[in-house]
Structure 1
Amino acid sequence: MKQAAKSPITRVRHVALAVPDFKKTAEFYRTAWGLEVAHKESDVVFFATPGHPEQYILRVREDAAKRVDLIAFAAENSSEVDALAQRLGSAGVRLATEPGSMATPGGGYGFRFFDPDGRLIEVSSDVEQRASRALEPRESIPQKLSHVVINSPDVQATKRFYEQHLGFRLSDWLEDRMCFMRVREDHHILAIGQGPHTSLNHVSFEMRGIDEFMRGTGRLIRQGKEPVWGPGRHSAGDNTFTYFTDPVGNVVEYTTELERIEDDETWQPRTFSTEPDVADQWGTAGPFEPMVPAMFNSPDQGLWTPSPL
């Protein structure tokens, strides 16, 4: 069997959100969620973590419309960026920008395009890294951005796009509702859920370990922020989870111990049930169905529209 070409994508860099309640949302991510401000302007905040050298892992921008401004992925080098842009353009994918120098914090070289649902995607290389350090035991703040999950009205078509054009590979299914996609060893950096409309399902942040995961969960609960679902341990991906909502209704997750797929060529995707004893291995999270409306979210108001920055 011919070996599949390696994806030009190496990891997810950041997710950029536009929100109508800017001050309250930015404060949530700075205080309750535990991110630090790396760059700030009057209407946008770039959030980073001291545990990772990425310039920022979350961007929050003020806007009357609630939308995902973009999802950003990393590539190895500028040659990979150029080659990917050429392939996408030749395949008729709508490019929002051509490859070139970027003006966002850390600079770099990249371009943007729309996926089949109208979601803006960025791929970049050569972004300057920031100083980072290993998180300490009991330091219950995000260590890095783990993955992003999106909702699509046609999960199969969106899955094929990311496989055919970006080299993502299928790791597992959650029934026929959600597929988990990888580019390297991490079980998934992207998952695509079947939804009634195009929207953000959730953004996941990895903690240092189980103890820090539970301490972070407890910190939010003590502040009166009840989990949407969790704490528990998933079947697909084998990672821990606790889900909360930010002030505008976006779902965010604390996680740790995401499964790694070392032998990529022999991996056989599995299909997991949403039955309570399968969806949550620990049996601590409560029923799966009540959290579905929160994860469907409201329809994305920025589809097929370039981000203003």
Structure 2
Amino acid sequence: MSFSPITHLRHFDLAVPDYHKQVEFYGKHWGLTATTDGSDLTYFAAEGSPEQYVVRVRRADDKRLDLVSFGAADRQSVEKLAQDLAASGVHLINEPTDVQTAGGGYGFRFFDLEGRTIEVSSDVEVRQHRKIEEREDIPVRLSHVVLNSPEPEKMRAWYEKHLGFRLSDTLNHPRTGDLFYFMRCNAQHHSMAIARGPHASLQHASFELRGLDEYMRGSGRMMRSGWQKLWGPGRHRAGDNTFTYFLDPNGNTMEYTTELETVEEDTWHPSVFNVKESETSDQWGTANDMDDFITREMFNDPDKGLYVAPPV
């Protein structure tokens, strides 16, 4: 696809069995604001983001990634994308219509190559947001999501062909091949990445903080509160962003980050980074070593919602 209708990442939605603990995690510990708090569905906004919400949590018997939502420039872009996807044989869940979730808008949903529900929308009402102050250690916005795939090469090709994502960089192991594809839809180094894993699942979701000091304060606050730190603090090579990863109450991995690299579209050339070089994972050398335990946790549980659209 020569033209990408995707402008940015809006939000990701989770279904979890331990609903109240997940809601408490985001609202009391992670630094998000509950904008609609219900008995079975809660929307969370980031105070610095114009998006109506960056995470939605739904109560369910089975844990799953309900959907990933992306923005489009206008109604015409939404309609053209729906037509192009349908013509290419992609399974549309619904035709473009008025969006019924918080903020409204105009959009539609479809299944990606592995059966995840993807939403693309435009004209969503802008939320009143504010500047995050110095030393305020809460997320400014949602940065990116990473998806596990047993066939990442096919997933990369699918997102390039159908949604116009571009490859920014690759992580490679000399013996096992490519492990990570960092994909962009705008000037950010990546809004999505595809990681090699044993099954389709959410690998992690990442939230941008104001700066280095706020990122370190937020990381320290989470560690002092007793949340299990998987990995970090450190600084990745691909994307040049900082990282600290934590496990949420339902076993999903959440990341604090900052200073994600921006890309000059006309001059950027993707690099291949060797994961056997320690600087690839952590330029600073401050994080704990990546090991089998961290890898297993980031594999997450197999997603039980593939090819099943969420009820909301």
Question: Does the CA contact (< 8 Å) of 1:232 and 1:281 recur in 2?
Answer: yes
C-alpha separation between the residues in 2 aligned to 1:199 and 1:245?
A: 15
Deviates more, 1:299-308 or 1:34-43: 34-43
| CA apart distance, 1:6 | 3.3
The residue correspondences of 1:167-206 to structure 2 (distance < 5 A) are 167-175=164-172, 176-206=178-208
Is 1:302 the counterpart of 2:302? The answer is: no
SS for the counterpart of 2:96 is strand
2:243 — aligned with what? Answer: 241
d(CA) in 1 for partners of 2:228, 2:220: 10
Name the counterpart of 2:162.
165
What is the CA-CA distance between 1:183 and the residue it aligns to?
1.1
Which residue pairs with 2:272 in the alignment?
271
Deviation at 1:157, TM superposition (A): 0.5
Number of aligned residues: 305
Q: Is residue 2:100 matched to residue 1:68?
A: no
Shift of 1:236: 0.5
In the TM superposition, what are the counterparts of 1:252-291 in structure 2 within 5 Å?
252-262=254-264, 264-275=265-276, 276-290=278-292, 291=294
Question: Paired residue for 1:24, among 16, 21, 25?
Answer: 21
Q: Residue 60 of structure 1 aligns to a residue in which SS?
A: strand
What does residue range 102-117 of structure 1 map to in structure 2 within 5 Å?
A: 102-117=99-114
The 2-side partners of 1:229 and 1:208 are apart by: 20
In structure 1, the residue corresponding to 2:303 is in which secondary structure? coil
Q: Secondary structure of the equivalent of 1:31?
A: helix
State the SS of the aligned residue for 1:95: coil
- Equivalent of 2:50 in 23, 28, 53: 53
1:140-175 deviation line (CA, Å, top 9, x unaligned)? 000000000000111010100100000000000011
Q: Say yes or no: does 1:209 pair with 2:211.
A: yes
Q: SS at 1:156's partner residue?
A: helix
Report the equivalent of 1:293.
296
Q: Which whole-Å CA distance do the structure 2 matches of 1:116 and 1:277 have between them?
A: 33
1:152-207 C-alpha deviation (Å, 9 max, x unpaired): 11101010010000000000001110100001110000000011000000000000
2:118 maps to a residue whose letter is: I
**Deviation of 1:277 (Å):** 3.0
Equivalent residue letter for 1:51? G
8 Å contact kept, 2:243–2:257: yes
Q: Which amino acid aligns with 1:239?
A: N
Structure 1 residues 186-239: Cα deviation after superposition (integer angstroms, max 9, x where no partner): 000000001100000000000000000000000011111131000000011000
**Residues in 2 aligned to 1:97 and 1:105: alpha-carbon distance in whole angstroms:** 18
Q: Is the 8 A contact 2:166 2:185 kept in 1?
A: yes
- On the 8 A contact 1:146/1:205 being kept in 2, the answer is yes
Residue number in structure 2 paired with 1:138: 135
Moved over 3 A (4+): none
Query: Secondary structure of the residue that 1:80 maps to in structure 2?
Result: helix
For residues 240 and 111 of structure 1, the distance between their equivalents in structure 2, rounded to whole angstroms, comes to 34
Per the alignment, residue 175 of structure 2 pairs with: none
- How far has the Cα of 1:289 moved from its partner? 2.5
2:266 partner SS: helix
Indicate conservation of the 8 Å contact 2:112/2:118, yes or no.
yes
User: How far did residue 265 of structure 1 move?
Assistant: 2.7
Q: Do structure 1's residue 40 and structure 2's residue 40 form an aligned pair?
A: no
Structure 1 equivalent of residue 145 of structure 2: 148
Aligned residue type for 1:19: V
**Amino acid in structure 1 at the alignment position of 2:245:** Y
Distance in 2, Cα, partners of 1:126 & 1:108: 5
* RMSD between superposed Cα atoms in Å: 0.9
State the shift of 1:40 in Å. Answer: 1.8
- Cα deviation, 1:56-109, whole Å, max 9, x if unaligned, reads 000000000100000000000000000000000000000011100011010000
Preserved CA contact (<8 Å) 1:274 1:288: no
Aligned residues of 1:273 and 1:279 also touching (Cα < 8 A): no
CA contact (8 A) 2:236 2:283 kept: yes
Percent identical: 54
Q: Aligned equivalents of 2:43 and 2:228: distance in 1?
A: 26
Work out whether residues 162 and 168 of structure 1, in 8 Å CA contact, stay in contact via their aligned partners in 2: yes
Q: Partner of 1:172: helix, strand, or coil?
A: strand
